[in-house]
Chain A
């Protein structure tokens, strides 16, 4: 019992330096700049495997314009160094959101869209992850996993944890051994967060992001139903082996489950109009005014 208490005490003391209270919320997350450095390394990691469409590709500009039209209207219109949207040149069907607002969509997923509003839906889902702090929560989970493992190891060795050690030492005075441990924390966090972004942030978080995405679409005056329409189409490509592989071994809900989740939300909004966050969330909007520029900017995909 005493040992358990000691373990808990050490875990609390070790975690203190990494986290802080965010705004008026009790949610413990990383600071804006700490989050930014995790996000940057996540990007560098995916650049080892994938190539970006160039900065002067019309699709790059188009995705940025759609992304910012939604992000600027969201609850978190900027991050430490702002949002950054990029298009990854791969047939894989995916979209990623890394800490601090680094968002990527693949040419593979864009090929399945039929309107600008559907591209907006994909981006709104990723922006929702940033608004809901899902990447930072993943970073905190990673940090805690290393902390807990280390705390246990240290108890067995009879030494203090890294949090305590670095708290009493100034950053400049870290020796090689401290750097090694600090590096381990950063490395594990980057690996865990990259993995989470690729495979999905977990069932509840994905469903939560879909619902917020629908609201963000409505707020930006896109068709909120575009996300549902796109998920329905995505369901048709589930049998595709590449897509099946992606969902394999993850907790990511299937497009069918995600559509059902949105249907429940829409039903609730219709039953209790006063309860819904935006009165336009259940209003279907005409996507035609944007069809001309969608066909023009995405012609390289067809």
Chain B
């Protein structure tokens, strides 16, 4: 029994270490485009832009929905809704998906509700006009929404002018 004591002294603290204090393994970005922010706040400075499939390294536990991460040489905060463990990630079939994670989850089910299915839906329901309107709505209506940096600056000014800070 005494011979096992040193081993137990080494192993026990590792086993008993609270789970939250262990930064988990890498996380993958599950949205097409997002930002890493200087502070845990989407209105703070943008440190880096990340795209779907980028791998981020957590450097601390999650706090109030934000995770401190490292991406290349950049360090900042990402909202937890933006990332997912790689093994749970289902990549979209978009051509801009980063290949950081490789083909770990290339299952057919992921593509079910996809551009291909949408195309069939559009043809069958003769909705070309409506989908054209939708594409314009997404690109031309308040275009600053499509760039995290421009959006942040636009909203920051709006917040200040309305005394919402």
A residues touching B (Cβ–Cβ < 8 Å)? 16-18, 20-23, 30-38, 40-41, 43-45, 47-48, 52, 55, 60-61, 64-65, 68-69, 72-73, 75-86, 116, 163, 166-167, 169-171, 179, 182-183, 185-187, 189-190, 220-222, 289-290, 293
Contacts and interface: CB of A to CB of B under 8 A. Distances in A.
Contacts of B22: none
B158 A69 contact: yes
Contacts of B113: 30, 33-35, 37-38, 186, 189
A70 to B, nearest CB: 10
Contacts of A45: 127, 130
B163 A290 contact: yes
Interface in B19-53: 30-34, 41-43
Interface in B112-165: 112-118, 120-122, 124, 127, 129-131, 133-134, 136-138, 140-142, 145-146, 148, 151-152, 154-155, 158-159, 161-165
Contacts of B118: 37, 40-41
B120 A52 contact: no
Given A37-B114, A220-B164, 11 more contacts: A17-B109, A31-B30, A34-B113, A34-B114, A43-B130, A43-B137, A55-B137, A82-B31, A166-B108, A167-B107, A190-B121
A68 B151 contact: yes
A171 B90 contact: no
B155 A72 contact: yes
A61 B108 contact: no
B151 A186 contact: no
Contacts of A75: 65, 79, 81
B107 to A, nearest CB: 7
- A20, A37, A86 interface centre (most CB from chain B within 10 Å): A37
A79 B148 CA distance: 12
Nearest to B129: A47
